[in-house]
Chain A
Amino acid sequence: MTGPARSGPALGHVLGTAVVCLALLAAGSWLQGWLPDDDADPAAEPHVRAGGVGDALDLRTATVTVDEVRGTRRVEQYGTELVSPGLWVVVGYTVVPTEENATVTFAELEDGRGRTWGLVGRNANSCAESPPGVPVRCTVLMEVPADALPTLRLRLARLSRETRFDAVAEVDLGLTRDDAEGFATAPTYSVPAPELGDPPEEDS
C-alpha cells in the first residue's frame, strides 16, 4: 500500500531558493557600496555664485542681494525674546524673481573651520514668495558662537531640501572680531516680517 502523494515543493527546492535569495541579497548589498552616491556625481554639485554684501547674485530664476548684516545677543520674533549663548547673526536680503514666482527657503552659515549652521532649532528664515520683477525683503537669523564671525559665509538657495543642480548664492558677510564685540552689547533686535514691493523712499 502506498501513502498519499506529497504535495508542495521539495525540501531541496526550498533550501535552494533560500540560498539563492541570500546570495542575491549579499550581492545587492555588496553592489550598493559600489554605486555612485551624491558625492560621486560632480555634475550634481550646486553652482555656487560667490559675492559680498551688496552684490546681486544670480540664482537662475531670481537674483538675491544681501543688504545688511546685524548682530546681537537678543532678538525678538513674534513677540518672544530669544537669548543666545553666542550671538544672533541677522541678515537682511532681497530676492527679485526674474522668470517665475520664487522665494528662498535654504539658508546656511559656514565658518572657516567647516562648521555649518542650518535652519534648525531656533534659527529661522523669514521670506515670502513673490512674482517676477517684484522684490521681497527677507531676513535670516541664526545663532553662532562669537569665534565664528570673522569667517562666516551665508549660503542662500531656492529649495531647502534640494540644492543639487541648482544655483546657490554664497556671500562673505565680511564680519570681524570687532563686530563680535559690538554685537555682544547691541540692544534687542526685532526681526521684521517679509515685505513685498519696492522699499519706501526715505525722506531727504
Chain B
Amino acid sequence: MPTRIPLAPGALVRTHPWLSLGALALVVALAVVTLTGGWSRSAPEGAVQVAPGTEVDAAPFSLRLDEASARFVRGDEDAEPGQAFVVVEGQVELTSSTSVTATTLTDAFRADLSGYDLGGSATQDPAPVVSVVPDGSTLLGLGPGLRYDVQLSYVVDEGSVPDRLDVTVLEHTRRPSALDGELRWFDATPVARLTLDVAPLPAIRPAEEDL
C-alpha cells in the first residue's frame, strides 16, 4: 500500500513555486494593510490648525471652541482636594438629521492633557463632561438643529493645570455596525487642531462654606 510522504518545505517550494509565491504575497499584503490601518477610509488631508473661535465642520457636528480656563468649581460641584477643572467654552450643533448620543459627542474632542475619567481613575485621554451653559445640565446627546452653548470640562491634578491646551477635533462616519448592522457613527478622524490659552486657577481655593 503506497504511503504518502509529506514534502519538506524546500521541496514544496521547488515543486510549486508559483503557489508558494502567491501565498507569500498574500500574507505580505495582509500584513502591510493591517499595519497601515486596515481597510478603513484614510484621510490624506489630515487635521488643520485653526484659531480659537473658528467654526469647524466635524461630522456630525458643527462646532467652535472659544476659550479655556482652570477652575475649582464646575456648576454646583467643587473639585476634589488636589484637583481642579480645565473648562473649555464653545458651541456645538448637530448637523445630521437624527439624534446622537453622548458617546459620539465626547468622542469628537481629544484634549492633550492627563486627567481623570468619570470613575476617578487616572487616564492619559480623559473624555470631557459636556454641560449646557445656561442651566449646567449635562448634555447626554443632542438632536438636529439645536445649537448649544457648552462647557467641556476635564478633571486634572491641581499642580498639572496647563498654560496652554491643545485640542483635537474629530469627525465621524455614519455606517452600519459590523456587529448588529445598526447605523452609528464610527471611525473618528482628526479634522482640526487648536491651541487655547488656559486662564489660570484663582490664587485661593474657595472654602467649602463659600461654595
Interface residues of A (CB under 8 A from B): 6, 9-13, 15, 18-19, 22, 37-38, 80-86, 113-118, 120-123, 142-145, 147-148
Establish whether residues A83 and B132, one from each chain, have CB atoms under 8 Å apart when the complex forms: yes
Which of A15, A121, A147 has a CB less than 8 Å from the CB of B143? A121
Q: Are A37 and B181 in contact (CB under 8 A)?
A: yes
Residues of B near A148 (CB, < 8 A) are 145
Instruction: Tell me the interface secondary structure of chain A in the complex.
Output: mixed
Set of chain B residues within 8 Å of A114, measured between Cβ atoms: 97
Structural contact, B181 and A80, CB atoms closer than 8 A: no
> 20 A-B contacts, Cβ less than 8 Å apart?
A6-B8, A12-B7, A13-B6, A15-B23, A18-B23, A19-B23, A38-B181, A81-B135, A85-B147, A113-B97, A115-B144, A116-B98, A116-B99, A116-B143, A120-B143, A121-B139, A121-B143, A122-B137, A142-B143, A148-B145
* Chain B 134-150 interface mask (CB, 8 Å, partner A; 1/0): 11010111111111110
Contact A121 B102 (CB under 8 A): yes
B12–A11 CB distance below 8 A: yes
Q: B122 on the interface (CB 8 Å rule)?
A: no
Contact B97 A116 (CB under 8 A): yes
Among B103-144, those with CB < 8 Å from A are 132, 134-135, 137, 139-144
Query: Do B101 and A144 touch across chains, with their CB atoms under 8 A apart?
Result: no
Which listed residue (B6, B7, B9, B99) contacts A120, Cβ 8 A?
A: B99
B31 interface residue, CB < 8 Å from A? no
Q: Does B28 contact A (CB under 8 A)?
A: no
**Chain A CB within 8 A of B50 CB:** no
Contact B134 A83 (CB under 8 A): yes
The answer to whether B100 touches A120, judged by C-beta atoms less than 8 angstroms apart, is: yes
Answer yes or no: B33 CB below 8 A from chain A CBs: no
Contact B146 A84 (CB under 8 A): yes
Q: How far is the CB of A61 from chain B (nearest CB, A)?
A: 26
> Chain A contacts of B148 at CB under 8 A?
85
A89 → chain B closest CB, angstroms: 11
How near does chain B come to A148, taking the closest CB pair, in angstroms?
A: 7
B146 touches A143 (CB 8 A): yes
- Per-position binary interface string of chain B over residues 19-35, scored 1 when its CB falls under 8 Å from any chain A CB and 0 otherwise: 11001001000000000
Taking a contact as CB atoms under 8 Å apart, the answer to whether A82 and B137 are in contact is yes
* Bound Cα distance from A134 to B168, whole angstroms: 53
- A115 CA to B144 CA in the complex, in Å? 7
Cα(A82)–Cα(B138), bound, Å: 10
Could you tell me the distance in whole angstroms from the C-beta of B6 to the nearest C-beta in chain A?
A: 4
A22 to B19, CA, bound (A): 15
In the complex the two chains form, is B146's CB within 8 Å of A85's CB? yes
A115 pairs with B146, CB closer than 8 A: no
The answer to whether A120 and B97 touch across the interface, beta carbons within 8 angstroms, is no
Q: Given the complex of chains A and B, what is the CA–CA distance between A143 and B145 in angstroms?
A: 10
A16 to chain B, nearest CB (A): 9
Residues of chain A with a CB closer than 8 A to B149's CB: 85
Residues of B within 8 A of A117 (CB): 99, 143-144
Contact between chains at B23 and A120 (CB < 8 Å): no
> CA of A38 to CA of B176 in the docked complex: distance in angstroms?
12
Question: In whole angstroms, what is the CA distance A121 to B101 when docked?
Answer: 7
Residue on A nearest B135 in the bound complex, by CB: A83
Residue in B12, B16, B142 whose beta carbon sits within 8 Å of that of A121 in the complex: B142
Asked if B139 and A145 make an inter-chain contact with CB atoms under 8 angstroms apart, the answer reads: no
With A113-B97, A120-B99 known, 10 other A-B pairs at CB within 8 A are A10-B7, A82-B132, A83-B134, A85-B146, A115-B98, A116-B97, A116-B98, A121-B102, A121-B139, A121-B140
